[in-house]
């Protein structure tokens, strides 16, 4: 998608025209090839970084099903009998030797939600630090810390619920800096005409992390022991950190092996994009309605996203009655569709903007509406098809797949309205968008004391209604142009 930042002439108004030519009059170096380039190597490492990040985040959702004594679950929040036992008999016996804990449904909800109490704290701080000192070490150590704490999960569980909750909060603190840091890093690395492709590919690693980690966690729990889930992904995170520190640099100017042609191409393409102002315009930023449009959309989308992320394995087990092995595999199917959609939507958004002359705001609105209202419709439908296992999985898959369109909608609108402060804006919007992860699982657990289909219809209906509201609010108040407050003083956006 074309960069939202445009060259300004003296007659331009407070905001840059959404349809103005890109970087008018700015000297441009010839585009450097993408193959084997430093910027696409960065995208590949970022892709695997977010793969690891989400694998570390969601493995507990599957492992928790096997960590809890089934007798406790049945007594407190029992498996529904509305649907017939679906699991086919398996020649291999489910591992029964791993330790089980007496955690009721409310306790499980707090364990799943505790991660976000740490995650919310470091969002804005992460964006600010990245804008001042660089993103490489911040992002790298954020994932490393999460990996190290993940390795300690079995020990914390043995110490008790309190220790496990504290550990998950600490993991959240580590992960909280990652998205703002990545946004800030791309502000120095992504040429305007490649920005949406690079960002969508980088963040698509998160969806693939869920696609791989959910079924793999289920298989490990079924045949081995749930403790190995945390050991495996923790070690993978440490390996990724070593590669990241070795191969990545904060900017093209400091990269050791980048070609001169690529360096000149990136630097020249961003020459009129980045601000030279040292202070952050906090007050005008927080008064910006387009920023709050992103906040509302991000909050609304994440309510549904986190509801499924943390509770889909529970729904698969308690309502549809899949065993732990099938549970992990089927819980991952929806996210495979989302992974494909994220990558393809980035390409489609670029095509609409460059070839069909769609305005930036039009593309953002279209992709946000599809990526929010579409999932809401199919999520509600999934709750009303009862015990039809095939349709349930199909509707949940379609819902999550359509959600991938939002990655080229509100998710990267920060770069449209203020590319110089994209990391900070991401931190602000993600702070609000983390609240659903904190309260969503607890509310959903409280709404499903008997684990009936009717109760889950209410959970899905609430998530869908919030999502539709967010889509409408964003469509009404979002902007596709660089805002006046992001262009003041000696900002480099002016020609």
Mean pLDDT across the stretch 469-477? Answer: 97
Summary mean pLDDT of the chain: 82
Residue (of 95, 65, 85) closest to 77 by Cα position: 65
Strand partners, 491: 275
Mean pLDDT across the stretch 338-357? Answer: 86
Distance between first and last Cα of the chain:
21
What dihedral do alpha carbons 468, 470, 476, 480 form, nearest 10°?
-120
Two structure tokens written together for 447: 């709404």
Gap between the Cα atoms of 208 and 55, Å rounded: 9
Strand partners, 101: 68
Two structure tokens written together for 1: 């998608």
Beta strands in 230-330 (DSSP E): none
Q: What is the DSSP letter of 279?
A: S
Q: What is the DSSP letter of 78?
A: P
Gap between the Cα atoms of 52 and 122, Å rounded: 19
pLDDT at 2: 38
Residue (of 417, 425, 416) closest to 127 by Cα position: 425
Count, residues in the chain: 495
pLDDT at 62: 80
Structure confidence by residue, pLDDT tens digits, 257-307: 888 888 888 888 877 666 667 788 899 999 999 999 999 999 999 998 888
Contact 83, 387 (CB under 8 A): yes
**Cβ contacts of 93 within 8 Å, gap of 6 or more:** none
Q: Name the pLDDT band for 492 (thresholds 50, 70, 90).
A: very low
Q: Which residue has the higher pLDDT, 442 or 19?
A: 442
Q: What share of the chain has pLDDT > 90, as a percent?
A: 39
Q: Which residue has the higher pLDDT, 271 or 158?
A: 158
Two structure tokens written together for 125: 């701080």
Judge whether residue 402 has pLDDT over 90: yes
What radius of gyration, in Å, describes the C-alpha atoms of the chain? 23
Gap between the Cα atoms of 292 and 312, Å rounded: 29
Alpha helices (runs of H) in 355-452, residue ranges in sequence order: 360-383, 389-403, 414-417, 422-447
Contact 411, 295 (CB under 8 A): no
Two structure tokens written together for 5: 């930042």
pLDDT at 87: 54
Structure confidence by residue, pLDDT tens digits, 66-125: 888 766 554 554 556 677 765 554 444 455 667 888 888 778 878 887 888 899 999 999
Gap between the Cα atoms of 64 and 75, Å rounded: 17
Q: What is the DSSP letter of 43?
A: H
Q: Which residue has the higher pLDDT, 5 or 403?
A: 403
Contact 187, 274 (CB under 8 A): yes
Q: Which residue has the higher pLDDT, 482 or 466?
A: 466
Q: Name the pLDDT band for 199 (thresholds 50, 70, 90).
A: confident
Phi-psi group of 480: left, alpha or beta (phi > 0 → left; psi -120 to 50 → alpha; rest → beta): alpha
| Alpha-carbon distances, residue 413 vs 292, 294, 361, 419, 480 (angstroms) | 11, 7, 9, 9, 7
Q: Which of 19-23, 320-324, 488-492 has the highest mean pLDDT?
A: 320-324
Gap between the Cα atoms of 455 and 460, Å rounded: 9
pLDDT at 30: 60
Q: Which residue has the higher pLDDT, 39 or 297?
A: 297
The pTM of this model reads 0.81
Gap between the Cα atoms of 164 and 181, Å rounded: 27
Q: Which of 289-303, 313-327, 441-455 has the highest mean pLDDT?
A: 289-303
Q: Which of 260-269, 335-344, 435-444, 458-467 has the highest mean pLDDT?
A: 458-467
Gap between the Cα atoms of 305 and 209, Å rounded: 15
């Amino acid at each position: 998608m074309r960069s939202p930042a445009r060259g300004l002439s003296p007659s331009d108004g407070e905001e840059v025209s959404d349809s103005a030519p890109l970087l008018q009059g700015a000297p441009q170096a010839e585009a450097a090839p993408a193959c084997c380039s430093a910027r696409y190597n960065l995208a590949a490492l970022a892709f695997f970084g977010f793969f690891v990040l989400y694998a570390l985040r969601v493995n507990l959702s599957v492992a928790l099903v096997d960590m809890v004594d089934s007798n406790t679950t049945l007594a407190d929040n029992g498996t529904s009998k509305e649907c017939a036992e679906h699991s086919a008999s398996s020649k291999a016996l489910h591992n029964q030797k791993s330790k089980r804990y007496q955690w009721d449904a409310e306790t499980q909800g707090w364990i799943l939600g505790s991660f976000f109490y740490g995650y919310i704290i470091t969002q804005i701080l992460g964006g600010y630090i990245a804008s001042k000192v660089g993103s490489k070490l911040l992002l790298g150590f954020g994932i490393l810390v999460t990996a190290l704490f993940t390795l300690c999960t079995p020990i914390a569980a043995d110490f008790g619920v309190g220790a496990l909750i504290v550990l998950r909060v600490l993991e959240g603190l580590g992960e909280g800096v990652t998205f703002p840091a990545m946004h800030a890093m791309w502000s120095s690395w992504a040429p305007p005409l490649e920005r949406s492709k690079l960002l969508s590919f980088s963040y698509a690693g998160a969806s693939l992390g869920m696609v791989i980690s959910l079924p793999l966690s289920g298989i490990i729990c079924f045949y081995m022991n749930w403790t190995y889930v945390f050991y495996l992904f923790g070690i993978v995170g440490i390996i990724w950190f070593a590669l990241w520190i070795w191969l990545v640099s904060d900017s093209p100017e400091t990269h050791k092996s980048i070609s001169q042609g690529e360096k000149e191409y990136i630097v020249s393409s961003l020459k009129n994009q980045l601000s030279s102002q040292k202070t952050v315009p906090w007050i005008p930023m927080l008064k910006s309605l387009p920023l709050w449009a992103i906040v509302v959309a991000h909050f609304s989308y994440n309510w549904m996203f986190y509801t499924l992320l943390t509770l889909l394995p529970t729904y698969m087990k308690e309502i549809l009655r899949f065993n732990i092995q099938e549970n992990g595999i089927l819980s991952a199917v929806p996210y495979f569709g989302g992974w494909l959609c994220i990558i393809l939507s980035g390409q489609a958004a670029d095509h609409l903007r460059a070839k069909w002359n769609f305005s930036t705001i039009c593309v953002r609105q279209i992709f946000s509406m599809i990526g929010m209202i579409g999932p809401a419709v199919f999520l509600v439908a999934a709750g009303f098809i009862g015990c039809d296992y095939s349709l349930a999985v199909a509707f949940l898959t379609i819902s999550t797949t359509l959600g991938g369109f939002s990655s080229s909608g509100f998710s990267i609108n920060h770069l449209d309205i203020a590319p110089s402060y994209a990391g900070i804006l991401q931190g602000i919007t993600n702070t609000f968008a983390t609240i659903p992860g904190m309260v969503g699982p607890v509310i959903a657990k409280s709404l499903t004391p008997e684990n009936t289909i009717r109760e889950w219809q209410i959970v899905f209906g609430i998530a869908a209604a919030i999502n539709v509201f967010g889509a409408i609010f964003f469509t009404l108040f979002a902007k596709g142009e660089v805002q006046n407050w992001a262009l003041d003083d000696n900002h480099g956006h002016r020609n």
